[in-house]
Amino acid sequence: MPTTSTRTPPTADTSVIVARFGNASEAELARAVLASHGIDAFVLGEDAAITLSYIGPALGGVELRVRAADADRARRILQRAHRRDASGESALRRCPRCGTAVERQFAVCWNCGGTMEAAQPAEPPPVLPELDGSSSTAADTFDEQMGRCLRLAAWGVLLPPLSVVALGELAGLLAKNGGRALRDGRSYAALALCGVTLVGWAAVLWP
């Protein structure tokens, strides 16, 4: 039976990435596995992955995040759940009623109570390697967000709306990190890319 957490749910500013996926359904499957072990997790980037599926991986893919304190345990759970035994069967099965990932030794789905007799093996999503314990959550989050902002700005050359998204994320980084964001050269690179892109497209659309 999953444990119900009474803690404040993790957010992008208080969490670390434990896995990345190519689509939202894989990420939700892994999130359900963690939930069954009492770990709060959330998925970030699923809307972008759905809307921009063909460039989603270049923007960082769909992220599965948990609190920093839960990260090591979450990775161990995912690695154990995705490990295949000697027979080649997946350690996870997908509930035929609700689609939830359930560990193979259980006969009943923890989510809906359905029987697992007709369940099919669930394919294992990839898990990121262990993060260096010396790195801080804040540093990881800042670098991830800045990198994403720069990628959005670069893709904005082809898809101008992404430039607007990049400017919004850059404004958020400047508001939260101030001087650090101003000292990071990626801020100016992203700003320059967005500026050139928007001015160029404006000249094309409104000559």
pLDDT tens-digit readout, 69-99: 999 999 888 887 666 444 445 556 777 777 7
Residue type, 187: S
Residue 108 sits in the same domain as residue 176: no
Say if residue 103's pLDDT is above 80: no
Residue 78 sits in the same domain as residue 155: no
Of 75, 92, 121, the one marking the end of a domain is 121
Region of 4 on the Ramachandran plot (φ > 0 left; ψ -120 to 50 alpha; else beta): beta
pLDDT of residue 203: 82
**Is the model more confident about 44 or about 55?**
44
- Tokens 């998925």 belong to residue: 43
| 83 within domain boundaries | yes
Residue 81 sits in the same domain as residue 28: yes
pLDDT of residue 118: 65
Q: Tell me the average pLDDT of the chain.
A: 72
Residue 146 sits in the same domain as residue 116: no
Which of the 8 DSSP states describes residue 106? Answer: -
Q: Please give the Cα distance from 69 to 141 (Å, whole number).
A: 15
| 5 within domain boundaries | no
Q: What percent of the chain shows pLDDT beyond 70?
A: 63
pLDDT of residue 16: 87
Q: How confident is the model at residue 64 (pLDDT cuts 50, 70, 90)?
A: confident
- Tokens 């609700």 belong to residue: 98
Task: Please give the torsion angle defined by the CA atoms of residues 141, 142, 143 and 148, in that order, rounded to the nearest 10 degrees.
Answer: 90
Q: How many CB atoms are closer than 10 A to CB 194? A: 24
Residue 65 sits in the same domain as residue 93: yes
Residue 76 sits in the same domain as residue 170: no
**Is the model more confident about 70 or about 20?**
70
| 130 within domain boundaries | no
- Segment among 26-40, 92-106, 140-154, 177-191 with least mean pLDDT: 92-106
**Is the model more confident about 136 or about 161?**
161
Note down the domain range covering 85.
15-121
The b-or-e profile of 27-53 (16+ CB within 10 A means b, else e) is bbbbbbbbbbbebbbbbbbbebbeeee
pLDDT of residue 14: 72
Residue 142 sits in the same domain as residue 116: no
Q: What is the mean pLDDT of residues 1-21?
A: 64
| 165 within domain boundaries | yes
Structure tokens at 86: 């000697």
Say if residue 206's pLDDT is above 50: yes
Q: What is the mean pLDDT of residues 25-52?
A: 74
| 185 within domain boundaries | yes
Q: How far is CA 107 from CA 50, 82, 97, 103, in A?
A: 33, 18, 13, 9
Residue 97 sits in the same domain as residue 41: yes
Domain total of the chain: 2
| 129 within domain boundaries | no
| 4 within domain boundaries | no
Say if residue 121's pLDDT is above 70: no
